[in-house]
Structure 1
């Protein structure tokens, strides 16, 4: 009987030490989830900024190509303008559907 009471007391003591640890880990997990959300939002923002910058680079390359007189630049510019026209046509057809 005494050994059962000792075992119960040991279990209670173990539970009493584990509960605060559990609560601390649970709070830490919540903090990590919040940080994860913040980082995901930051990644989305940075990806959108990269897309904007890439578009600006394309425009700059296109305007450079218009000003150049060599055949490569002219070919690049024509191809890029044709690609942009096709994209616009696709958008217009989607709008008309």
Structure 2
């Protein structure tokens, strides 16, 4: 009978340890899921920041081309031609 009691006690201890480990793993999983959410949000913000900087860069490039920068001389000519075409279209629509 003593042997059976020892076996039951041993099983109870093992089950208790398993349950404890299970709870630890559950907590660890929750922390990791929170961390994943935080990292996803940071990634989203970084992408937004990159998009904003790209937009600012394009604006600066356009401004430089409008000012006649040597580096963007071709772009400047293309922009001017596009603006002239737009103006011509407006004039044509107004004269109709």
TM-score, with structure 1 as normaliser = 0.66
Q: Which has the larger radius of gyration?
A: 2
Query: Alignment partner of 2:54: what SS?
Result: helix
Residue segments in structure 1 that go unaligned for 5+ positions in a row: 83-97
Q: Which has the higher contact order (CA 8 A, sep 6+)?
A: 1
| Structure-2 separation of matches of 1:49 and 1:75 | 29
Provide runs of 4+ in structure 1 moved above 3 Å: 1-8
TM-score, with structure 2 as normaliser = 0.66
Q: What is the count of residue pairs matched by the alignment?
A: 80
RMSD: 2.5
Give how far 1:8 is off: 3.3
2:66 is equivalent to residue 74 of structure 1 = no
Residue segments in structure 2 that go unaligned for 5+ positions in a row: 83-96
Which residue number corresponds to residue 25 of structure 1?
A: 25
Give how far 1:64 is off: 0.9
Q: Deviations over 1:30-50 (max 9, x none)?
A: 111011111111111111111
